[in-house]
Structure 1
Amino acid sequence: MAMSLSPYLMMNGNAKEAIEFYEKVLGAEVLFNQTFGEMPENPEFPIAEEAKELVSHAMLKIGESELMFSDNYPGQASQSGDQVTICISTDDIEKSKQIFNDLKQDGQIKMPLQDTFFSPAYGIVTDKFGVTFQIYTEGQH
């Protein structure tokens, strides 16, 4: 089982600017960058016009490390203390479930662990210490 931890920056509408800044300052290489408008359409949850150009997910490589980004969806905002989360990536759904369930003990679920268009098991949970983790499972649906 492979597992890695990556910092994930939640931005308030300025992820594109931050990505360009880190490219220049840290020599970052953009590995992936997708806007909300580029995501697969879901008629039950239409993308608001003001969100279409915002970053839904981006990954930069800086040296040997990866740094992930997303803008908050309009109407949501990060505050000091929850702007940086830790993304735990694994290739094992059962391990993702175990980690998610252990972290939620005395914590708070921000997004239940579920099948998404980009991961067979993805969820967001804040643990009892106030640290927010995104659980991302690699692999096919």
Structure 2
Amino acid sequence: MKLSTYLMFNGNCEEAFTTYQKVLGGKITAMMSHEGTPAENDVSPDWRKKIIHACLELDGQMLMASDAPPDRSSGSMRSVYVNVMVKEVAEAERIFKGLSEGGQIQMPIGETFWSKSFGMLTDRFGTHWMVNAEFKNG
């Protein structure tokens, strides 16, 4: 199991990650905008060039982020998620079920265009979680 932080920005994710790479080192291994993805039509036209997923790898660790459309965010850094990445779908589903007990599911766990299984929730303690089974192309 790997735990990593997923930051939600108000539209300046690309600038932030370029700065983080410069300051922290590492390598940006993903910087994908909404444009050209199946999620493109789920955001306003002025938001399509904003980042849907970014990843900065640092010494075997990952810092991930995206730009959260204003209608899906309570504000910059108020939407920080702990991301759990596991290899097997069954393990992702088990963890998701356990964390969601007494909590609120934002996105039910299921297959996405990037992951074998992905879901988002806020647990009963107020912690925001993303649960992933291994990326499809990773």
The bucket for the TM-score relative to the shorter chain is 0.7 to 0.9
Q: CA deviation at 1:139?
A: 5.0
Q: CA deviation at 1:80?
A: 6.6
Identity %: 33
Q: CA deviation at 1:11?
A: 0.8
Normalising to structure 2: TM-score of the pair?
0.88
Residue in 2 aligned with 1:11?
Answer: 9
User: Does the Cα contact within 8 Å between 1:12 and 1:78 map onto a contact in 2?
Assistant: no
Deviation above 6 Å: which 4+ runs of structure 1? none
Residue in 2 aligned with 1:92?
Answer: 88
1:41 & 1:100 partners in 2: Cα distance?
23
CA separation of 1:84 and 1:34: change in aligned 2, threshold 3 A: same
3-state secondary structure, aligned to 1:38 = coil
Post-superposition CA distance 1:94-118 (Å, at most 9, x none): 1111111100111111111121111
Residue in 2 aligned with 1:64?
Answer: 60
User: Does the Cα contact within 8 Å between 1:86 and 1:134 map onto a contact in 2?
Assistant: yes
Alignment length (residue pairs): 137
Unpaired segments ≥5 residues, structure 2 = none
The partner residue of 1:31 within 13, 25, 29 is: 29
Unpaired segments ≥5 residues, structure 1 = none
Deviates more, 1:17-26 or 1:52-61: 17-26
The partner residue of 2:74 within 48, 53, 78 is: 78
User: Does the Cα contact within 8 Å between 1:72 and 1:78 map onto a contact in 2?
Assistant: no
3-state secondary structure, aligned to 2:115 = coil
Corresponding position: 1:115 with 2:107: no
